[in-house]
Structure 1
Amino acid sequence: MFSVTVRDHLMIAHSFSGEVFGPAQRLHGATYLVDATFQRPELDDDNIVIDMGLAGREVRGIVAALSYRNLDEDPDFAGTNTTTEFLAKVIADRLAARIHDGALGPGAQGLTGLTVRLHESHIAWADYHRTL
């Protein structure tokens, strides 16, 4: 399996509901390092997994739409704990939709998997993997 990863970052504000979150129940900020890894079993005709420039552009667009916002005020996330794990899935699903719509070019049709990793700190992160 071949893979290529592109990286960006995300800055948001949010709060959580539930005793398990302790002080994070209050409004707080979070900065994540975002890695999107694209997988395929064979390289395409140009011997690449994905056009890294297009991949970076699409990841940046998805992250920009979430950045510098209080996710508690976003109707799409009403009543939802926007945990690191949850946000990794949101980004992966939005990226998969862009791949499906052709935004990453025709070579992206050979992709078979996508993993989004959100680094919450230098010692903790969460991944979401999905097939394409």
Structure 2
Amino acid sequence: MFAVTVRDHIMIAHSFAGEVFGPAQALHGATFVVDAAFRRAELDADGIVVDIGRATEELHTALEDLNYRNLDEHPEFAGVNTTTEFLAKVIADRLASRARDGRLGEGGRELAGITVTLHESHAASASYELAL
């Protein structure tokens, strides 16, 4: 399986409901480094998985309405704990939609999968892997 990975970052604020989250129940900030890996079994006619420039642009677009936002106030996430794992899935789903509708180029329609990893720090990250 071939893969191309691009990277961006977001800065968000949010809080969590549930005692399991301890002090993170209070409003707090997070900065995530976001990696999006695009996978396919065979390279396309141009010898690539997907155009890196387009992938970078589409990742940035997928993150725009999250960056510098309090996710507790984001209408899409009402009543949801916006955990790192949850956000990885949201971003992967957004990228999959962009791949399917051709915004990653024709090669994007042939992807086998997308994995999004959010790095909370140098020591912790969470990922979501989506088969296409």
Q: Determine whether 1:78 maps to 2:60.
A: no
- 1:29 is matched with 29
The separation in 2 between residues aligned to 1:79 and 1:42, in whole angstroms, is 41
The structural deviation recorded for 1:12 is 0.4
1:7 and 2:34 matched: no
* CA-CA distance at 1:109 after TM superposition: 1.5
Instruction: List, as ranges, runs of 4+ consecutive aligned residues in structure 1 with deviation greater than 3 Å.
Output: none
- Provide TM-score, normalisation by structure 2: 0.98
Give distance in 2, aligned partners of 1:99 and 1:41: 16
* Distance in 1 separating the partners of 2:60 and 2:51: 14
* 5+ long unaligned stretches in structure 2: none
Within 5 Å, give how 1:95-110 maps onto structure 2. 95-110=95-110
> Identity rate of aligned residues, in percent?
67
How far apart, in 2, do the equivalents of 1:74 and 1:65 lie? 9
Instruction: For 2:49 and 2:98, locate their aligned partners in 1 and report how far apart those are by CA, in whole Å.
Output: 16
Residue 122 of structure 2 corresponds to: 122
Would the aligned equivalents of 2:101 and 2:109 in 1 still touch at CA under 8 Å?
A: no
Q: Cα offset for 1:59?
A: 0.1
Deviation at 1:64, TM superposition (A): 1.5
Shift of 1:117: 0.2
- Cα-Cα RMSD: 0.6
What is the letter of the counterpart of residue 107 of structure 1?
A: G
Give a deviation string over 1:24-62, Cα, whole Å, max 9, x none.
000000000000000000000111010000000000011
Residue 117 of structure 1 aligns to which amino acid in structure 2?
T
